[in-house]
């Protein structure tokens, strides 16, 4: 009798504990969902120290949607109602922040320019083929970065027929179907970088719809390591570029460039605070082999950047991006 009572007690205990464990795991999942929703919605409140952790988080913010999917699958497997309810928070925040990028975008209007932005890579083994692929897009403007000798001549030759107007300053260039004027270097060199570093230019495009100030820039690279994100030079260069654009007296303004940052990254606030960016399309452009983020950007002022998308891979480690810019 004693043995039977003992075994019954054990059976009763094992029948209760699993339910308690499941409920506990459900609340844990719910807590994780709430934290994820908070991070997605209030990422600006995440401190940028140590190691610029805020910028690092913002660089991959859209991928928070993948975490939501993982939590959803786990919640369904666990049959946790409380976790499923809690997941409504990160789902809602993600849709509010990034859902519009999934939409196809509006049809192009009359007053618009098609623009292409591409870091062609200084190790590109087929500059002529890359140039032909970009020309096939039919874009009005083509901005290129990492232009080095002798590749510059190859781009000039391959693009000449479609783009009779172009300017190259340092390692960045702009090719245009429309006349250019006012070409000049834009100094975005961080103080710690040696002389001779030139990655910014400005030109006025004489478009059929009036003058447009076009900027091409290649901000310094960032590196992610065990100490965090090394973006000091990038951030300093973005501030210099932001000041130059703030002082621009020609409207509209279009910025094309490898900015080495996503539009959510607070390091690009000197630019995103005064320029509009794409309303639809993720267009992850880097790395080309497995794109994780769009660091190649098209931004504008007194204009609307419509749908942005990538073009097929070239000989670069970046994908080209193409966008329609509707002028006001």
Average pLDDT over residues 14-19: 50
Q: What is the pLDDT of residue 279?
A: 78
Q: What is the pLDDT of residue 283?
A: 96
Please tell me the chain's helix, strand, coil percentages from 3-state DSSP, rounded to the nearest 5. 40, 25, 35
Q: In what order do the strands lie in the sheet with 200-207?
A: 180-185, 200-207, 210-218, 253-258, 296-301
pLDDT at 327 over 80: yes
For tokens 């990492």, name the residue: 146
Query: Beta partners for 293?
Result: 286
Alpha-carbon span 328 to 323, nearest angstrom: 16
pLDDT at 115 over 50: yes
Average pLDDT over residues 230-240: 95
In the chain, % of residues over pLDDT 70: 90
pLDDT at 307 over 50: yes
| Residue pLDDT, tens place only, 184-219 | 999 999 999 999 999 999 999 999 999 999 999 999
Q: What is the pLDDT of residue 11?
A: 47
| Residue pLDDT, tens place only, 51-100 | 788 888 888 888 888 999 999 999 999 888 999 999 999 999 989 888 87
For 100, other C-beta atoms within 10 Å of its C-beta total: 13
3-class DSSP state of 233: helix
Burial of 9 (0-12, 13-18, 19+ CB in 10 A): exposed
Residue predicted with more confidence, 69 or 12: 69
Alpha-carbon span 281 to 307, nearest angstrom: 6
- Residue 15: CA count within 13 A, CB half-sphere: 6
Q: What is the pLDDT of residue 227?
A: 64
Assigned token pair, 257? 């460039």
| Residue pLDDT, tens place only, 143-196 | 999 999 999 999 999 999 999 999 999 999 999 999 999 999 999 999 999 999
Q: What is the pLDDT of residue 51?
A: 73
- Residue 32: CA count within 13 A, CB half-sphere: 17
| Residue pLDDT, tens place only, 242-300 | 999 999 999 999 999 999 999 999 999 999 999 999 978 999 999 999 999 999 999 99
The answer for residues whose C-beta is within 8 angstroms of residue 105's C-beta and 6 or more apart is: 279, 280, 281, 306, 307, 324
């Amino acid at each position: 009798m004693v043995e039977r009572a003992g075994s019954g007690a054990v059976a009763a205990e094992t029948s209760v504990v699993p339910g308690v464990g499941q409920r506990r795991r459900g609340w844990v999942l719910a807590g994780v969902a709430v934290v994820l929703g908070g991070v997605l919605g209030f990422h600006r409140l995440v401190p940028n120290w140590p190691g610029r952790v805020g910028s690092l988080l913002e660089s991959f913010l859209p991928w928070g949607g993948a975490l939501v999917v993982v939590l959803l699958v786990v919640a369904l497997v666990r049959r946790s109602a409380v976790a499923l309810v809690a997941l409504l928070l990160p789902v809602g925040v993600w849709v509010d922040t990034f859902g519009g990028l999934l939409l196809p975008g509006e049809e192009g209007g009359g007053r618009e320019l098609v623009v292409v932005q591409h870091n062609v890579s200084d190790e590109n083994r087929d500059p002529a083929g890359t140039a032909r692929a970009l020309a096939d897009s039919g874009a009005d403007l083509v901005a290129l970065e990492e232009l080095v000798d002798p590749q510059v001549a190859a781009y000039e030759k391959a693009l000449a027929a479609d783009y009779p107007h172009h300017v190259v300053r340092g390692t960045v260039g702009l090719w245009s179907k429309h006349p250019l004027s006012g070409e000049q270097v834009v100094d975005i060199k961080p103080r710690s970088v040696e002389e001779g570093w030139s990655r910014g230019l400005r030109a006025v495009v004489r478009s059929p719809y009036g003058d447009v100030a076009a900027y091409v820039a290649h901000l310094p690279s960032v590196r992610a390591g065990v100490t965090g994100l090394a973006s000091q030079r990038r951030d300093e260069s973005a501030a210099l570029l932001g000041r130059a654009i703030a002082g621009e007296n020609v409207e509209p303004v279009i910025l094309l460039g490898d900015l080495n940052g996503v539009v959510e990254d607070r390091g690009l606030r000197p630019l995103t605070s005064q320029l509009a960016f794409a309303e639809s399309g993720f267009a992850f452009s880097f790395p080309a082999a497995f794109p994780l983020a769009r660091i190649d950007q098209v931004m504008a002022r007194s204009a609307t950047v419509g749908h942005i998308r990538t073009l097929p891979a070239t000989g670069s480690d970046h994908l080209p991006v193409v966008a329609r810019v509707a002028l006001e």
